[in-house]
């Protein structure tokens, strides 16, 4: 019997975990009075961008059947989000967020280069792997 060998998308899962942590940290930075940056435009921006990161991570983790183009577009947006949030966090001197964005970047790289492809294009790869493991 053919074993279901579709690989786990470690990169996407890691990115999702990182982005959830990031949105929590961003919320704390935004609403924790006395940290020097709370209730500023910068923290609102980062809260928004990390929330977008969560949404993007959810998309690449759970949504199957995205076209190759859409999948690439989401990944590109995620990269921009990661870099932008990282830069904004650097300027906010929000060190934890900066490190989370570094971790997110690593997760994104894993996702792009090592995760099993999601969406329509993933079938041939899966088939090949299934064939190899039969």
Among 6, 10, 42, 126, binds another protein (CB under 8 A): 42
CB of 89 to another protein, least distance (A): 10
CB nearer to another protein: pick between 1 and 33: 33
CB of 55 to another protein, least distance (A): 23
Given its phi and psi angles, is residue 105 left (phi above 0), alpha (psi -120 to 50 degrees) or beta? alpha
HSE toward the beta carbon, residue 89, CA cutoff 13 A: 26
CB of 50 to another protein, least distance (A): 15
Q: Is 88 in the site for another protein (CB under 8 A)?
A: yes
Q: Are 108 and 78 in contact, with CB atoms under 8 Å apart?
A: yes
CB of 95 to another protein, least distance (A): 12
Residue 127, classified by CB atoms within 10 Å of its CB into exposed (0-12), middle (13-18) or buried (19+), is exposed
Q: Is 40 in the site for another protein (CB under 8 A)?
A: yes
Sign, CA torsion 103/53/85/41:
negative
Using CB under 8 A, list all residues that contact another protein.
Answer: 33-37, 40-43, 88, 91-93
């Amino acid at each position: 019997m053919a074993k279901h060998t579709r690989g786990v998308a470690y990169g996407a899962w890691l990115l999702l975990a990182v982005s959830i942590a990031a949105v929590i940290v961003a919320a704390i930075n935004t609403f924790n009075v006395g940290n020097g940056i709370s209730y500023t435009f910068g923290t609102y921006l980062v809260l928004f961008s990390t929330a977008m990161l969560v949404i993007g991570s959810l998309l690449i983790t759970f949504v199957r059947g995205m076209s190759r183009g859409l999948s690439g577009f989401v990944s590109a947006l995620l990269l921009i989000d990661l870099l932008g949030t990282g830069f904004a966090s650097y300027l906010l001197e929000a060190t934890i967020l900066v490190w989370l964005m570094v971790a997110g970047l690593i997760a994104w790289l894993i996702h792009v280069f090592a995760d099993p492809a999601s969406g329509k294009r993933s079938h041939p790869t899966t088939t090949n792997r299934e064939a190899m493991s039969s």
